Amino acid sequence: MALASIVDAIGKTPSVWLDRMVAARGLEGRILAKLDYLNPGFSKKDRAAKGIIDAAESEGTLKPGQTVVELTSGNMGTGLAIVCRQRGYPFVAVMSRGNSVERARMMAAMGAEVVLVDQLPNSSPGQVSGGDLAEVEKVAQTLVQDRNAFRADQFHHFGNAKAHFETTGPEIWNDSDQSLTAFVDFAGSGGTFAGTIAALRSFCPETRGYVLEPEGAAALSGARVTNPNHPIQGGGYAMPQLSFLANTAVDGYLTVDGQTAQNTARALALEEGIFGGVSAGANVAAALDLLAGPERGGTIGVTICDSGLKYLSTDLWV
């Protein structure tokens, strides 16, 4: 069936059982990986981008031809670049220079105006901290005012979590033959976790949900932040609160260190043929830990958040 637009190709990504990885580690249970790196923009953020624009159009808060502005680590920006270009909205992506250069180039190729913001003096390339994100936020706010733009606001706009409630959750539940017992997700905006777990619990109220953060930057769990710089791009900004999690029950907070996330992403490529990014490696590492512990024998859902192609300039594939 031919689609009318590339936007219609967002969602309905396949899922794969990671039985080889589970068996190789002698664990009991299963992990189901939702391959959202196969979305048109190579990430799960395509869903949120479409959800936010759909909602804004329905509400009338986004006017025809109005400029859209949003901060991004590159994934939401790519999703918005695709959706906005197809629907006639100029889009400005505001991103830290700490994110990989592939992301900026891809957004520009999709028609976005990309504004890069310098990192703080104590930050390192590839390790975007909450402080770096705050600098990006300042620039985004100024651009919204100067251009009378619509702010996509992925950290707060309900269209983000709604997209995952309406699509990701039902898809992964059905893909698992309605067998999921838990879901774990690395926290960026929190929209994927909040929307997906809400949908899963509408099918099975006992489904457990775990929020994943970087080791040393687990502010959501209430832990003291000792290392805000880490290589897991797209999240783990050491924010003590995320609006999407305010009314979402969390069964547990987990941590993963950057090296483990990278090593698991490499193992995912080698053992399962899935070329995901660092956050995907973090999710799978957490799911493996859960099968070794409190979720032994269970069925855990994860998302492959983005493509390994977005990390070719980093040390992930060296």
3-class secondary-structure state, position 57: helix
pTM: 0.95
Query: Which structure tokens are listed for 237?
Result: 């900004």
Which residues are designated catalytic?
45, 279
> Which ranges in the chain are annotated with CATH 3.40.50.1100?
6-44+160-311, 45-151
pLDDT tens series, the chain, 318 aa: 899 999 999 999 999 999 999 999 999 999 999 999 999 999 999 999 999 999 999 999 999 999 999 999 999 999 999 999 999 999 999 999 998 899 999 999 999 999 999 999 988 887 888 888 899 999 999 999 999 999 999 999 999 999 999 999 999 999 999 999 999 999 999 999 999 999 999 999 999 999 999 999 999 999 999 988 888 988 888 888 999 999 999 999 999 999 999 999 999 999 999 999 999 999 999 999 999 999 999 999 999 999 999 999 999 998
Residue 210 sits at φ, ψ, to 5 deg, of -120, 135
SS3 content of the chain, % helix, strand, coil (to 5): 45, 15, 40
Do residues 128 and 99 touch, judged by C-beta distance below 8 A?
yes
Annotation: CATH topology of 45-151: Rossmann fold (3.40.50)
Residue 168 sits at φ, ψ, to 5 deg, of -60, -50
Alpha-carbon distance of 87 to 217, in angstroms, equals: 38
Alpha-carbon distance of 287 to 278, in angstroms, equals: 14
Q: Which CATH architecture has domain 6-44+160-311?
A: 3-Layer(aba) Sandwich (3.40)
Alpha-carbon distance of 119 to 253, in angstroms, equals: 28
